[in-house]
């Protein structure tokens, strides 16, 4: 077993309770951007929605396994890569697509579908794909992780806050419009403050693996962005849809991944390091790509969905 596979990021019960509350609040803030009407827009982009779902739940996990077989990372890091690949795209993708002048309506619709389906897809996908990681049997068996347990946590901390936020959005749109920016900023601040404190508390143990984590995340993220765009081009989708799918494939809600790591894998160091660095790096590359495409917007983008920066 590689040394990083034995490292743990330790949280006491009080910290874990605060982390859970922060995660629920973060998901609540995400829901403030989702409208019930967003789901009816599937009829506007049926082929793009289909390609996006195939990319998210089939092509990207297969690509992730390919990277694992080429780079042979420690098992815990490989498990972190698989978990990230099964995490839904976050509300940050809506902002990046909007900023890049791509297809915001497609992003909002696809994002809403993927987030709500995460209750089933994220735990089932992780349990399925992780069994193909070379040499992972011993480490996976050391954790008693079941589909039902993971799904229940996602319902409590993801689905329930999402449904509450969507209900408030439909019933009190004026109030939601005023609180949305502050709610999202506060949720991110709380979550990343806890994350940074945890990493600093275990920094001496993790710093020696940061270089490898940086490299593997750089490759994983770059191929995710490229694959999302490339699969759109192969499917002969409009340019703005291809750019949207790049963000949907290359930006992931690793906050969810970290919560599952702390809850079910005892803060397994390699997994947490990959998920934490992904959460930082995909925003760097996402903003860079969005700025690049903003300067070369592909014609007139479709009418933007309701969205608040």
Helix (H, G, I), strand (E, B) or coil at 65: helix
First to last CA, the chain: 45
pTM of the model: 0.84
Query: How many C-beta atoms lie closer than 10 Å to residue 110's C-beta?
Result: 31
pLDDT for the residue numbered 94: 79
* Contact assessment for residue 19 and residue 194, using Cβ atoms and an 8 Å cutoff: yes
Beta bridge pairs of residue 197: none
Q: Which mean pLDDT values do the consecutive 10-residue runs of the chain (309 residues) have?
A: 70 69 74 69 85 94 97 94 90 83 86 84 91 89 77 80 82 83 75 64 67 93 97 95 95 85 84 88 93 74 43
pLDDT for the residue numbered 148: 83
* Contact assessment for residue 48 and residue 237, using Cβ atoms and an 8 Å cutoff: yes
Domain boundaries, the chain: 12-295
Q: Class of 12-295 per CATH?
A: mainly alpha
pLDDT for the residue numbered 51: 95
Rounded to 10 degrees, the C-alpha dihedral 99/102/105/107 comes to -80
pLDDT for the residue numbered 185: 76
């Amino acid at each position: 077993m590689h040394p990083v596979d034995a490292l743990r990021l330790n949280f006491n019960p009080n910290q874990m309770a605060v982390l859970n509350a922060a995660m629920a609040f973060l998901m609540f803030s995400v829901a403030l951007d989702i409208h019930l009407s967003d789901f009816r827009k599937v009829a506007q982009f049926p082929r793009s929605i289909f390609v996006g779902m195939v990319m998210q739940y089939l092509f990207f996990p297969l690509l992730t396994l390919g990277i694992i077989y080429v780079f042979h990372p420690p098992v815990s890091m490989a498990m972190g890569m698989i978990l990230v690949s099964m995490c839904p795209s976050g509300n940050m993708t809506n902002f990046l697509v909007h900023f890049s002048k791509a297809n915001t309506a497609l992003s909002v619709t696809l994002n809403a579908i993927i987030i709500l389906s995460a209750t089933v897809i994220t735990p089932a996908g992780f349990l399925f794909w992780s069994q193909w990681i070379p040499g992972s049997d011993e480490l996976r068996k050391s954790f008693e992780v079941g589909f039902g347990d993971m799904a229940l946590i996602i319902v409590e901390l993801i689905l329930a806050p999402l449904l509450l936020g969507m209900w408030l959005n439909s019933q009190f749109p004026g109030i939601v419009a005023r609180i949305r920016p502050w709610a999202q900023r506060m949720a991110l601040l709380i979550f990343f403050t806890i994350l940074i404190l945890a990493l600093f508390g275990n920094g001496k143990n993790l710093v020696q693996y940061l270089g490898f984590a940086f490299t593997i995340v750089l490759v994983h993220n770059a191929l995710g962005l490229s694959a999302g765009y490339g699969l759109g081009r192969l499917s002969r989708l409009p340019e703005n849809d291809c750019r949207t799918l790049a963000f949907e494939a290359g930006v992931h809600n690793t906050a969810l991944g970290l919560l599952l790591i702390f809850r079910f894998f005892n803060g397994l160091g390699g997994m947490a390091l990959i998920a934490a660095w992904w959460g930082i790096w995909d925003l760097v590359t996402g903003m860079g790509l969005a700025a690049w495409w903003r300067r070369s917007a592909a014609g007139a983008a479709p009418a933007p969905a309701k969205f608040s920066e």
